[in-house]
């Protein structure tokens, strides 16, 4: 049986004309327990279709310890034709009604145990393309809230600097890591801008190109990711979580597969794997 609850949009922050962060609160006030990295099915009445409710999946950017609201970051899909749900979301404002399913999906939940039952203490590297950063906002806030001691690296790729949603949030989490010490909270954030030649990005001094370039070895040596963490990335010391276009997942795996990394979808006979991903086509 499909469970669907009535809910209300309580906050809308337009980051630019086609990128929005918004919050939704179930009308009964109940936010069920869920896991960082899950998504939810959101339904919205579409005016041009006689207020018929149309549903789509959206990753939860909020974390499970936040019992007040769900948060989402959504791109308005305009090409080749305006998307049915996203167009409606961009007309929505505080007080508007939507419906929600229950949080679901295991593709991107955080691994706690290795295949042999030992605790998974590997470094966590999150690679998000565009709005594919959403599950990793949830990861970072959750891991911070529970005091997880693993090393966490968030890599975000966007076409334009103003599409680096949650840059402030991640930067503050990194600053806290520097203040408190890595033994208390070990968090790093780096971003890549893929259209550096465009005028709007002229002040960008960070990594350029698509986000998977963080894994590309420079002149046969270390990759920017390896320079950041200070050691060679291996299947023993690092796990990867990727969300974005299929091209982003393929691009990351082009670097990882030759080094022996395998995905959850394609795990070894003994059940071991190092990479989890969610693709949006
Ligand atoms: C697990 C999961 C999590 C997701 N999380 C997020 C998230 O956090 N943020 C986010 O922004 N998105 C997310 N998505 C994507 C989201 O579910 C929707 O697919 C997206 O928002 C587009 O929905 P839409 O109704 O606006 O577009 P649709 O109406 O479904 O259109 C989809 C595509 O088809 C094209 N199209 C529509 N009609 C036609 C036509 N007649 N002929 C040709 N082309 C057409 C549109 O231009 C568009 O490119 C997620 C998807 C999944 C599966
Ligand atoms: N969990 C999910 O399934 C999920 C989550 C979030 C969003 N989505 C959906 O994904 C769609 C677009 O997301 P977005 O607008 O956030 O992305 P975007 O801004 O178009 O792209 C983000 C980054 O990915 C790069 N990129 C674009 N196409 C690529 C490809 N084929 N291969 C590798 N890299 C690519 C872009 O580089 P360039 O500058 O070179 O284009 C940019 O650096 C939306 O329709 C959204 O609804 C799904």
Average pLDDT over residues 35-45: 97
Question: Could you read off the pLDDT of 220-273 as tens digits, one per residue?
Answer: 699 999 999 999 999 999 999 999 999 999 999 999 999 999 999 999 999 999
Ligand minimally distant from the alpha carbon of residue 42: 1
Cβ atoms of 77 and 19 closer than 8 Å: no
Q: How confident is the model at residue 280 (pLDDT cuts 50, 70, 90)?
A: confident
| CATH superfamily assigned to domain 5-100 | Translation factors (2.40.30.10)
The predicted structure's pLDDT at residue 219: 81
Give the distance (Å) from ligand 1 centre to CA of residue 77.
7
Contact 160 CB / ligand 2 (< 6 Å):
no
131 touches ligand 2 (CB under 6 Å): yes
Select 123-279's CATH number: 3.90.220.20, 3.40.50.300, 3.40.50.80, 2.20.25.90: 3.40.50.80
The CATH 3.40.50.80 domain(s) of the chain lie at 123-279
The yes-or-no verdict on residue 1 having pLDDT over 90 is no
Tokens of 210: 């698509």
Q: Is the pLDDT of residue 281 over 70?
A: no
- The rounded percent of the chain whose pLDDT value lies above 90 is 95
Q: What separation, in Å, do the N-terminal and C-terminal C-alpha atoms of the chain show?
A: 27
- What pLDDT does 55 receive? 97
Sequence ranges of the chain with CATH classification 2.40.30.10 = 5-100
How far, in Å, CA of 64 to CA of 62, rounded? 7
d(CA 71, CA 59): 9
Q: Check if 130 has its Cβ closer than 6 Å to any atom of ligand 2.
A: yes
How much is the mean pLDDT over the chain? Answer: 96
Residue 119 DSSP symbol: B
- The count of other CB atoms within 10 Å of the CB of residue 180 is 12
């Amino acid at each position: 049986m499909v469970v669907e609850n009535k809910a209300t949009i309580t906050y809308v922050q337009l980051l630019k004309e086609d990128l929005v962060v918004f919050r939704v609160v179930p009308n009964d006030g109940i936010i069920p327990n869920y896991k960082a990295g899950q998504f939810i099915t959101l339904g919205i009445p579409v005016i041009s279709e006689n207020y018929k409710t149309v549903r789509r999946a959206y990753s939860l950017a909020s974390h499970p310890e936040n019992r007040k609201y769900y948060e989402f970051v959504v791109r308005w899909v305009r090409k080749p034709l305006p998307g049915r749900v996203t167009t409606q979301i961009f007309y929505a404002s505080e007080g508007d009604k939507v419906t929600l399913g229950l949080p679901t999906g295991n593709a991107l939940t955080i691994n706690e145990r290795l295949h042999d039952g030992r605790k998974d203490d590997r470094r966590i590297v999150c690679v998000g393309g565009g709005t594919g950063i959403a599950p990793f906002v949830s990861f970072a806030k959750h891991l911070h809230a529970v005091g997880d001691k693993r090393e966490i690296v968030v890599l975000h790729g966007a076409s334009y600097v103003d599409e680096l949603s949650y840059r402030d949030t991640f930067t503050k989490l990194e600053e806290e890591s520097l203040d408190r010490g890595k033994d208390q909270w070990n968090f790093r954030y780096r971003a890549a801008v893929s259209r550096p030649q465009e005028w709007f990005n002229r002040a960008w001094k960070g990594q350029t190109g698509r986000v998977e370039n963080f894994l590309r070895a420079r002149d046969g040596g270390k990759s920017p990711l390896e320079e950041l963490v200070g050691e060679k990335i291996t299947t023993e010391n690092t796990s990867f979580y990727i969300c974005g276009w299929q091209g982003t997942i393929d691009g990351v795996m082009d670097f990882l597969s030759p080094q022996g990394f395998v995905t959850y979808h394609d795990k070894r006979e003994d059940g071991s794997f190092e990479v989890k991903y969610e693709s949006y086509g």
